[in-house]
Amino acid sequence: MAIAQPYPRKRCINYKAVEAKAYKQMTDELQEELGLTFSGLSKHLIRKEYQYRKNANVLEMVQI
């Protein structure tokens, strides 16, 4: 019997050297405007993208 593994609670994001400065600037600006931590910003944007894709799929089904 296999033992269920817990969901990961931590993740690491690595940027290429040429990307790091741009992403740092963008995340700092978004965090300031939205009043979120880096973790909160990541979760917010993942939920937003997920909902966008779900709604796009629904609209495709309606148009058929």
pTM recorded for the entire structure: 0.74
User: Is 7 within the bounds of a domain?
Assistant: no
Torsion angle (degrees, nearest 10) of CA 32, 38, 43, 49: 60
User: Is 39 within the bounds of a domain?
Assistant: yes
Cα Rg for the chain, rounded, in angstroms? 17
User: Is 15 within the bounds of a domain?
Assistant: no
Domain count, the chain: 1
Predicted local confidence at residue 28, as pLDDT: 97
Higher pLDDT, 55 or 64: 55
User: Is 28 within the bounds of a domain?
Assistant: yes
**pLDDT tens profile 1-60:** 678 888 888 889 999 999 999 999 999 999 999 999 999 999 999 999 999 988 887 777
* Domain residue limits at 56: 22-63
Beta-carbon contacts of 40 under 8 Å, excluding residues fewer than 6 positions away, are 34
User: Is 10 within the bounds of a domain?
Assistant: no
User: Is 12 within the bounds of a domain?
Assistant: no
Length of the chain equals: 64
User: Is 40 within the bounds of a domain?
Assistant: yes
Longest dimension (CA), the chain: 49
